[in-house]
Structure 1
Amino acid sequence: MAQQSTLARFFSGIPQKRKFDSQSESKVKYEQKRKPRVFIESWKKEFDGIEDSPNGMICSFCTKFPLLADKTSSLFTGNTGYRIDSVRSHFSSEKHEQCSKANYAAQRRENEEHFEGPIDVAIRKISEKNSKLLVYMFNTAYCVMKEELPFTLYPTMLKLQVKNGSDLSRLKSYQTDKACARFAPFIADAIRDPIKEKIENCKALSIMYDGATDVSISEVEIIYVRLLDDGNPKDFFIGLQDLEHAHADGVFTAIDTAMNSHGNDNWKAKLVGGGSDGASVNIGRNNSVATRLSAGQPYVLNVHCVAHRLELSILNAIKTNPMLVTVQDMLKKIYKHYHYSPKALRELRAIAESLDEKSVKPTNLGGTRWVPHISAAIKCLLKNYVVILSHFEHVSSQGRATPEVVGRATFLSKKMKDYKVLTFMFFIDDLLKIVSILSLQFQKDGATCLDFLDSPQTATMHLVQLRQAPGTKLQELLDNIEHRDNNAFYKDNKLSSYAQFNYGPFQAIIDVVVDKVSGRLENPNDPTKAIL
């Protein structure tokens, strides 16, 4: 019946009723009622290069490089639909990627100093919270490198921070030792770049260099630069440069390579001075690093390190003194006795605890600088005098150790109770205190030629004052010596070789020291004084 009705309508020419399209009608109604689409400003942060224009939203990178762009893309001609899907499709296309790279290269050529590279863009897109966490990780990596720790400790340090409440576990990809290694060049650049800029902008500079050995036991040259920064002299570390050869040409090549690596090809034109130790390869008159630094530039001033010269003058003044030889031998034996025997060190600490004293492990005499090492060794011995002497007397009286150890303990205990040895150590402590202060003045950053003139004069005045009367330490010893039954005791220990105190031999040592220091530091031909 329904089919007949339909056929009748067809042959009679009466139009058939169409079914109602509810989906199409709802779509039409939506388009009529919806608000007009507009450009979303937040898209600029997410999609670098997108902009709004009178023709609709466009990609500024693609319109800037039409030869590389996809001209059929709606974001090249202007998209008025303002749909996020269109934006994502365009920015994931290969043509847009090529335009983006071209724009990056153009920005770099226009301004080398103020352009935003891929790393900067990536960091800018990281959330503020993650940026802070990344800063914490960089600081942790810097601590690892600054303290010369292995990279494998970096993950452990991060775990400790997480345990203390930090949220570093969010960035899992940066928690390995390999991540720490990846941070290293960026941290180095952050430290090196300001130095490069200062060297590039300075008008004059000086070079300080010395031989060294790195952790791989390779011979290297350590290089510093001194220049004026805001009117004040400052020292900057350039680096450790490998030496192909240890002769003058090899050292000069290492210096030149290190300076060039900082982007300072014209450093030699700014050079006004050089400083090093007294090795002939550095400051020889005919064929040395100094002659190469001053080649064609006679105004370049090459100086033998004043701290090194002071060290040599003191060593030359007292190194042959018989009493100093005895004291040095005694200090070496004491150091070896405790350094190579954990049992001896444990017994020393036990005795210190029973005497209610603090125990400090004796130090070694070896090292780059002789003065501070022997001074530290003497101070340590005098500070632990009662504890160390009690231990040696205990070892020698018990006789349980090997004959060699008993013999050493007996020898050292006798020397420590020798009046002449004891007074000499206290005197040397006073003497080296003055010398150490002078040495530190020479070594401090920013020291100038005026400091070089003033500091020795002040030290000489203190030495003259020490010559007039015993110093603080020696006088303290003399005041604490007790006399009982025609014997002398220091801290209840009977002293041998006791005699009436005679300051004459110590005054003679001071005279030799003053003469040697003056000869080394007050040479009229010294180039440092010549410029003043």
Structure 2
Amino acid sequence: MKYEEKRERKFQEKWQNEFPWVELDTTGQLMTCKVCKAYPELSDRESAFVKGCCNMRKDTLTAHDQNKKHKFCIDRSISDKRELCSLQAKNGVDMGSMYRNDKGCKTFIEHIANSEIEKIKKDVMESRYFSVLSDGSTDSSITEQEAVYIRYIGPEGKPQTECCDIVSLETADASGVLQDIDRALETIGIDENAFKSKLVGCNFDGAAVMMGKKGGVAAKVKERVPHAVAIHCVAHNLELAVLESVKTVPYLSKFDTTVKNIFLFYYYSPKKRRELRAISDLLDENAAYFSGMKQVRWLASRHRALKAIEKHYAVTVIHLENTASGKTADAAKAKGILNDFKSHKFVKFLHFMIDVTNILSMLSQGYQRDDLFITDVVRNLEKAMWQLKELQQNKGEMGRKFEEHFNTELKTFSCGKESTQTVKLDACPANSTSSDKQQSSFLEAVVEYMDKRFTVLQHPAFSDVTVSLFNDIWVLFRFIRFCTTVHVQAPYLSYVYVYAVVPYAIYIYICKPV
């Protein structure tokens, strides 16, 4: 007994061969079951292996391995794959009879995972530099998880992005997050020496714990690697710039509420959606449908939402008016929505915002591309800002459509598939000067906030790239001048000039530094 009390028990690495589901926390003091944590709806949430077991004994592992709820989780993790084998067999694929069980599946998965990890390790070690991307979220078991990715130049000279690991955070402060990022990087062979010698940048969201100038993860990374460039995720930064600019025009808050109310009114009611479709069929219009609005990718989701409202505007107005005239519980809601929905200002802003979000959603989607390059960020941003400034001077396609279909005398708006449906708008102003000023003010704010939020692009790491490209075009021009001096045959010279120099010069102009 005295020996047992004094003995300091430690985790034995050989246990993982027998119990592959066990994992240690960053402190090395607690054991957890990664399978039970992956299926919180099936596991025993009060189990020590879900919360963290400090009893470093093999018999505790054996006991958990025999636990019924743990076995349910194991079966669930494998059952999806077993069904895939049955499906392939029905399709005529000879799946054989071997390895079609839990152990065989685990073996295959482990070998595939190890093979992929070794491949990534080799490519990263051969690459001259890399950058780290990381983002956090909370899973269904209310456990904070950090997804860690690495971006590097692959063997073919193209940027590659690979997932290192998804790690559970022990602590959500900057030190804890960075510690878990290090742990994820270690899975692909990046130790402290490789981290300091090859890391050139890191990319996070704008949370204070990540981008805080004094104690954030980015600041701590720069303490270890002074030359590393910390970047706020460009797609996320764009979303924030637009959200900030929306606050500068008070009416846009009301407009946003009306749009959300429309989707909430229909999305959770199959009955209302059936009624909408019935009206669509009666009017020979496209079937009206309002899907859920996503909050993660605000710009792309918002553009689709506004397009849906514009497309089904007449059908929606008719249904809301019918609902509002009844005595159901939804009558008051329908009346409240109609107050702004049928106003001249809402319809005009609807068409205006479709033009704006069309530009911004394309920029946002471009920033989410896997093959995004540094010069693409600058070029796409400047292109979008130029388009927004052009929208201040001249109305966009949807803005012109509204003016063409609005009858100023009758105060009616023609809409629908063939513009054959007529809706009488309320609160029509004598002139549109006020709303035009608000739209111009909003566009100015969008450009201003985008410019402020992307000042990091003035960092030499970005601006020097476009400068070097400009130097390349200057070399081409000097080559042309040299060819002229030595009397190179004119046809060949003209081909070089027309098909190489001129297009490249235009490209460089678009990509010029901010």
TM-score (norm 1): 0.65
1:379-419 per-position Cα deviation (integer Å, ceiling 9, x unaligned): 2222222222222122122x1522xx101112223422211
- Per the alignment, residue 521 of structure 1 pairs with 454
How many Å separate the matches in 2 of 1:225 and 1:274? 9
Say if 1:237 and 1:202 are closer, same or farther in 2 by CA, change over 3 A.
same
What SS is found at the alignment partner of 2:223?
Answer: coil
Counterpart of 2:153? 228
Match of 2:182 in 1: 256
* 297 and 175 in structure 1: CA distance in 2 versus 1, 3 angstrom threshold: closer
Query: For residues 344-380 of structure 1, what are the alpha-carbon distances to aligned partners after superposition, in whole Å with 9 as ceiling and x for unaligned?
Result: 2222233233333333532444522332332232122
Instruction: Say which SS state the counterpart of residue 295 (structure 1) adopts.
Output: helix
1:183-262 paired onto structure 2 within 5 Å: 183-229=108-154, 230-262=156-188
SS at match of 1:489: strand
Q: Could you say what secondary structure the match of 2:300 adopts?
A: helix
| Separation in structure 1 between the aligned mates of residue 395 and residue 462 of structure 2, nearest angstrom | 33
Which AA in structure 1 matches 2:449? K
Name 2:219's counterpart in structure 1.
291
Q: Which runs of 5+ in 2 are unaligned?
A: 1-75, 415-420, 466-514
- Residue of structure 2 in register with 1:326 after alignment: 254
Change beyond 3 A, Cα 1:181–1:336: farther
Give the C-alpha shift of residue 207 in structure 1: 0.7
**d(CA) in 2 for partners of 1:482, 1:199:** 63
Q: CA deviation at 1:182?
A: 4.8
Distance 2:457 2:89 in 1: 63
1:233 partner amino acid:
P
Q: How does 1:268-283 map to 2 (within 5 A)?
A: 268=195, 269-283=197-211
Match of 1:498 in 2: 428
| 1:37-436 equivalent positions in 2, closer than 5 A | 151-168=78-95, 171-175=96-100, 180=105, 182-229=107-154, 230-265=156-191, 266-268=193-195, 269-397=197-325, 399-402=326-329, 405-436=330-361
- Is contact 1:235–1:445 with CA below 8 Å preserved after alignment? yes
8 A contact 2:412–2:422 mirrored in 1:
no
Deviations 1:7-52 (A, max 9, x none): xxxxxxxxxxxxxxxxxxxxxxxxxxxxxxxxxxxxxxxxxxxxxx
Give the structure with higher Rg (CA). 1
Instruction: Supply the AA of the counterpart residue of 2:218.
Output: A
> How big is the shift at 1:259?
0.8
Q: Aligned equivalents of 2:355 and 2:118: distance in 1?
A: 45
RMSD: 2.6
Matches within 5 A, 1:455-474: 455-474=380-399
Mapped partners of 2:124, 2:354: distance in 1: 42
Aligned-partner Cα distance in 2 for 1:158–1:318: 51
Are the equivalent residues in 2 in contact too, given 1:259–1:267 (CA < 8 A)? no
CA distance in 1, matches of 2:338, 2:290: 15
Distance 1:176 1:345, change over 3 A: farther
Q: Distance in 2 between matches of 1:440 and 1:526?
A: 23
Counterpart contact for 1:154–1:176, Cα < 8 Å: no
Q: Distance in 2 between matches of 1:157 and 1:350?
A: 40
Letter in 1 for 2:406: I
Counterpart in 1 of 2:400?
475
Q: How does 1:25-36 map to 2 (within 5 A)?
A: none
- Contact in 1 for aligned 2:165/2:184 (Cα 8 Å): yes
Q: Distance in 2 between matches of 1:275 and 1:156?
A: 39
Contact 1:323 1:421 in 2 (8 A): no
**More relative contact order in 1 or in 2 (CA 8 Å, sep 6+)?**
2
Question: Hey, what's the Cα distance between the residues in 2 that align with 1:479 and 1:204?
Answer: 55
What is the SS of the residue equivalent to 2:289?
coil
Give the distance between the partners of 1:326 and 1:303, measured in 2 at CA.
Answer: 33
Q: Distance in 1 between matches of 2:348 and 2:461?
A: 38
Task: Mark the runs of 5 or more structure 1 residues left unpaired by the alignment.
Answer: 1-148
- Cα deviation for residue 180 of structure 1 reads 4.5
Q: Deviations over 1:228-255 (max 9, x none)?
A: 1222222222221111011111111111
TM-fit CA distance, 1:526: 4.4
From the superposition, tell whether residues 299 and 213 of structure 1 become closer, same or farther in structure 2 (CA, over 3 Å): same
Q: Could you tell me how far 1:445 is from its partner in structure 2?
A: 2.0
Number of matched pairs = 378
Write the letter of the residue equivalent to 1:256.
Answer: D
Runs of 4+ aligned structure 1 residues displaced above 4 Å come to 173-182, 523-532
Does structure 2 conserve the Cα–Cα contact (< 8 Å) formed by 1:153 and 1:177?
A: no
- Listed one character per residue, the Cα deviations across residues 494-518 of structure 1 (whole Å, up to 9, x for unaligned) are 1112233443332222112112211
User: Counterparts of 1:187 and 1:348 in 2: how far apart (Å)?
Assistant: 50
Query: Cα–Cα, structure 1 residues 178 and 469, in superposed 2: closer, same or farther, change >3 Å?
Result: farther
Structure-2-length-normalised TM-score: 0.68
Amino acid at match of 1:449: I
Question: SS of 1:344's equivalent?
Answer: helix
Contact map agreement 1:396 1:409 (CA 8 A) in 2: yes
CA distance in 2, matches of 1:175, 1:204: 42
1:449–1:528: 8 Å Cα contact kept in structure 2?
no
Alpha carbons of structure 1 residues 366 and 166: separation in structure 2 relative to 1, 3 Å: closer
Q: CA deviation at 1:527?
A: 6.2
Distance 1:167 1:450 in 2: 49
